Amino acid sequence: MNTTALWRPTGPEELELVRESGWRAWPPRLPDQPIFYPVLNEEYAVKIAREWNVPHSGVGYVTRFHVETGFLRRYPVQQAGGRTILELWVPAEGAGRVQRAHRRRDRSGARVPVMD
């Protein structure tokens, strides 16, 4: 079975909820977060963590997880900017299906340093 690596930038609060789940689930989306959007490359995830999570929370993390490639075909890749700014837009109600399709999780989030 083929899998695809996805990355997700996150702050410390969300990362703690993922840890509490045994690295098995992302927390439910908040009402103002209608989309779960994992990204398709680490560089873009680091950019988001650095530009959004670090200013918002003082620290940002990048997590990586693997999902069945065939399952991901239902969510077209979205180009959210330049040619490497690629995301999957999963409606909040579909995030649980992505979690059930996980095949391998990397247990640690890489800390994104604050850059001056």
- 73-110 pLDDT, tens digit per residue, is 999 999 988 888 999 998 877 776 666 555 545 544 55
In the chain, DSSP finds a helix count (H) and a strand count (E) of 5, 8
**Whole-angstrom Cα distance, residue 26 to residue 15?**
8
Q: What is the pTM of this model?
A: 0.81
More confident residue, 96 or 32: 32
Task: Name the H helices within 21-84.
Answer: 42-48, 54-57, 69-72
Q: Is the pLDDT of residue 115 over 80?
A: no
